[in-house]
Amino acid sequence: MKSIVTVLLMLLLMTAALLADSGRETDEDEIRTVIEMAYVNGVHIEKDQEAIRRGFHPNFSMKVNRNDQVSVVALNSWILDIERSKDFANGGKPVKITHKFPLIDITGNTAMVKIEIYKNSKLTYTDYLSLYKFSDGWKIVSKVFQGH
């Protein structure tokens, strides 16, 4: 009888531990949140400089391939370009931005994310974002992309 009570008590404790863990955000959840806040919303929807700076590491760089020449764009330069583009975005017409995450690959404190950005249901960009997990959370550190 004592062993049945012990087993039941252990099962109860294990169930409680699992339920407690289920409320915690996983690394994948945190990565999605950072990308949606800083990249999807910050860059594409609201063009919000503060949101961008919260989710991107200050040493972020974007690699751009034009005519077989790769250039590097630093975060501050990119933010200036985003700010300038506010006035010209889609000729003032509203644009519906949606996104998909075909891949989130995490190894320890490193992650690679493939995200597709759709404007008015049309695939516009396929981006590959690299992230590191720092003491204050996940940050986007680099980007390469394909425009469609």
C-alpha pair distances (Å), 35 with each of 17, 29, 43, 65: 29, 10, 10, 22
For residue range 59-101, what is the model confidence (pLDDT) as tens digits?
Answer: 999 999 999 999 999 999 999 999 887 755 556 677 899 999 9
pLDDT of residue 14: 52
- 139 and 34 Cβ atoms separated by less than 8 Å: yes
Q: Which domains does the chain have, with CATH numbers?
A: 26-147 (3.10.450.50)
pTM: 0.81
For residue range 31-60, what is the model confidence (pLDDT) as tens digits?
Answer: 999 999 999 999 999 999 999 999 999 999
